[in-house]
Amino acid sequence: MLSTRVIACLDVHNGRTVKGINFINLKDAGDPVEQAKQYSTIGADEICFLDISATYEKRRAMFNVISKTAETCFVPLTVGGGVNDLSDFRDLLNSGADKVSINSSAVYNPKLIKQSSDKFGNQCVVLAIDAIENISMPSGYEVTTHGGRKKTNIDALKWAKQGVRNGAGEILLTSMKSDGTKKGYNLKLTNLISKNVPIPVIASGGAGSPKDMVEVVLKAGASAVLAASIFHYGIHTIKSVKNEMSKNGIFVRDCEN
């Protein structure tokens, strides 16, 4: 049986971990290198390092910070932000990333998904989808880019299916409306995507408690849960999340019962 993964997310801006609400009003939340080391030590199954301003600022990822993070991290590391072509993809993997998350670049160049999957393997390709509610879309959700700043007029479900066909190995699904609110994941959105694609879906945006993690797995079919604020500020721990999931019959790794 595959375990449900608990992922700690590091949203990084100017070399520091930050967190806000709906990707704005950012507050400093610490040093990503130290945090990655700590999270990998206390039971996180993976670390997700997202350079949230790289695309908006039209620059490449901070390879030096990523390399230092990878050196201290003993669990799989997913890195995203500022990825525009195969060379960026290659450089991130060479800097220590195990997977690369692509969002805006994939929207504007869908061939990048297939190119990177063919070159490096689909296990390395994470398609990040930042979705907002839009009743004019067939699924009710629209894909956004540049950290939610730009609308695309692309239906979220259609895009997820296209990503699978092009070779994405995983989907990182964020509800922009829920992000940073600590009011729970968007169950409707997560269920919509997870039941219609054959690859793992990581639920992101809105985690406020271990019960939220349990709910998005049992009710919406998420394969993994991602959180930032509740871990960074000590509201809840990786251990408490895994214990709650285990109590509810969800198989997790390294859980103290």
Amino acid at 8: A
Q: Which single residue is written with the structure tokens 């709906």?
A: 22
Active site residue 11: yes
Phi, psi of 189 (to 5 degrees): -65, -45
CA angle 61, 64, 69 (to 5 degrees): 95
Do residues 33 and 62 lie in contact, with contact meaning Cβ atoms separated by under 8 Å? no
Phi, psi of 206 (to 5 degrees): 110, 0
What is d(CA 52, CA 61) in angstroms, rounded to the nearest whole number? Answer: 10
Catalytic residue among 11, 31, 45, 179: 11
Residue 168 neighbours by CB under 8 Å, 6+ apart: 113, 117, 122, 125, 126, 127, 199
Kindly compute the dihedral angle of the four CA atoms of residues 134, 82, 238, 222, in this order, to the nearest 10 degrees: 40
What is d(CA 50, CA 113) in angstroms, rounded to the nearest whole number? Answer: 18
Catalytic residue among 45, 88, 130, 179: 130
Do residues 128 and 102 lie in contact, with contact meaning Cβ atoms separated by under 8 Å? yes
What is d(CA 11, CA 51) in angstroms, rounded to the nearest whole number? Answer: 6
Name the residues annotated as catalytic: 11, 130
